[in-house]
Chain A
Amino acid sequence: MPDPFARFVSDSLDAIVRDAPGCAAALAVALDAVVLDLVVDDERAVVYRDGHVRAVAAPMAQTSPGIPGRPIVHVATTARTVLDLASGRDELLPAILANRIRVRAAMHDAERLFDVLRLFVEGNARSSAAPGLFAEYHRQVTHESRRST
């Protein structure tokens, strides 16, 4: 299935709106007009606010996935790092310092990224759908990685 990361983020955001509306509303406030350009291995997802916070897959070749006039936070990492963070094998600050996660943005916009991440994780913790969505993402990326080795 293509775009497993964008699908995981998009489906999780829908689940947060359904199961944790308080977190969904706080997510929208935290993101505000900022657009997140997330590159995970060879896949790109764009997160933006349109009422609620939404996520869509975008082509890798696209140089600027942003919405005109909106500030962009660029994040690049690997699926392995995403899985390690979710399982507690890695921590956010060491991952950034060691360049396993690269963040490029104006400082005040980068701060929003961390609020959005915290609320995204907390919203998922309130959703009964989250374990299944994450398990599916985990299955897809580990399956993909086995196929490519």
Chain B
Amino acid sequence: MIGLARALARGLGDDLAGVDFNRSPTSAALAHSFKQWVHVAVVDPAITLVANFSAIPAPPGPVAHRLTALVHAGDVRGHVRRFEPERCAMPRGRSALRFDGNELTVVRGVHRLSIDEPALALRARLTMRPVAPPSVLRHLGVRGVFHWAVVPRLHAAGIIEHAGQTYALTDAPAYRDRNWGSFCFGDLSWDWGYIAAPAGGPPCSLVFARLMNAARTRIIEQELLVWWDRSLLASLRDRDLGFECSGAYDGPLTTVPPALALCRPGRATDVPQTVTVLGASSRGRIEVRFARAATARIIVPNDVPNDTRNVRNHARPGITTIYESFGEASIHGRLDDHELAVTGRGFFECVHA
């Protein structure tokens, strides 16, 4: 049995190695806006940890390597740290990356995440084994192509220490993706989320996303993918889907980095209290509901060039707010022969430029 599990992990690891590796811009013309980040989430009932390793151009200097960490354990706390280039390793063509003492590696199909962020009172040592195959998606953005390689479900084990508490995890659901491509913050909006069935629950995971123009007057692309056990059960796209958001959160928010809250004063947001995604195709019907429990926001400066005819021109002022919501989620419906009735925890991100 252990041998079989190892063989499965190795097989999934081999699949992953073909899609999830450190990229570099393939077009010199778009290199100024080439962005890449790896997002890992571990969703234990007692604590959710999100770690985002990003490499984003910061003209006139070199690429800026940042780690953004969010922890949801009752309330949400967050932190972002930029690292000197010489303290970072993100070798092209490899999956591994290291930002100072924070590291994410993949060896023989096993992912290892180490986080040491004393400013957030956070330390994590986790191993994660994929239990569903990776998928790659491509979005056509406003100025380029944006790619997304997702490992929808892993089982995480290890410890997370946060704010004086130690959480021991066994087979906690986890999620990982890598995003890369050329686009500017300020050009696009998106809604994106994933749902993880609890440990011991149905072997189901789900992601959904819709990419829009900055004004959100046009949907560029939308999709919903459902995995069951070790295979992709269904993917629904574009006209197969409808998104409905209701309510708007107007309470206090943790802001990362905190000083940028001064650029978005007041409490008004358009963060939905609930999100419903309805899908219907020849495969069947599905209804996904997400109910927000806690939200943090990450604020990043826009990098849309001041002169769009000269993309190397300096960026015009403006910021993008990335709202990260944690909550409860449910999946109901029927796709092919699978009856879906899943409840679990979910994560919803909206970027409404």
Contact = CB atoms under 8 A, between A and B. Distances in A.
A39 to B, nearest CB: 19
B116 to A, nearest CB: 18
A96 B306 CA distance: 33
Given A85-B262, A92-B262, A92-B265, A125 B257 contact: yes
B199 to A, nearest CB: 34
Interface stretch (A42-50, A61-69, A70-78, A114-122): A114-122
A24 B315 CA distance: 11
Nearest to B255: A88
Contacts of B28: none
A71 B283 CA distance: 68
Given A19-B60, A19-B61, A125-B301, A91 B261 contact: yes
B315 A22 contact: yes
A26 to B, nearest CB: 5
A126 B260 CA distance: 11
Interface in A79-106: 85-89, 91-93
A119 B263 CA distance: 8
A121 B317 contact: no
A26 B319 CA distance: 14
Majority SS at the chain A contact face: helix
A134 B262 CA distance: 15
Contacts of B265: 91-93, 114
Nearest to B300: A125
**For the side of the interface on A, what is the size category?**
20 to 34
Contact of A125 (B61, B254, B260): B260
B262 A118 contact: yes
B262 A121 contact: yes
A121 B258 contact: no
B58 interface: yes
Interface in A11-65: 18-23, 26
A22 B255 contact: no
B306 to A, nearest CB: 5
Contacts of A89: 258
Contact of B259 (A19, A20, A23, A124): A124
B92 interface: no
Majority SS at the chain B contact face: mixed
B259 A121 contact: yes
Contacts of A87: 258-259
B258 A22 contact: no
A92 B255 CA distance: 14
Contacts of B64: 128
Contacts of A21: 314
Interface in A107-139: 114, 117-119, 121-122, 124-126, 128, 131, 134
A119 B301 CA distance: 11
Contacts of B82: 128, 131
B266 interface: yes
Interface string B236-258: 00000000000000000011011
Which residue of A20, A86, A122 has the most chain B CB atoms within 10 A of its CB atom? A122
B94 interface: no
Given A93-B266, A122-B301, A122-B319, A22 B314 contact: yes
Contacts of A92: 262, 265
A87 B261 CA distance: 9
17 contacts: A20-B314, A26-B316, A88-B261, A89-B258, A91-B261, A92-B265, A114-B265, A117-B262, A119-B317, A121-B260, A122-B263, A122-B319, A124-B259, A125-B301, A128-B61, A128-B64, A128-B82
Given A22-B306, A87-B258, A126-B315, 8 more contacts: A26-B317, A85-B259, A88-B254, A92-B265, A121-B260, A122-B263, A128-B82, A134-B259
Interface of A: 18-23, 26, 85-89, 91-93, 114, 117-119, 121-122, 124-126, 128, 131, 134
Interface of B: 58, 60-61, 64, 82, 254-255, 257-263, 265-266, 299-301, 306, 314-319
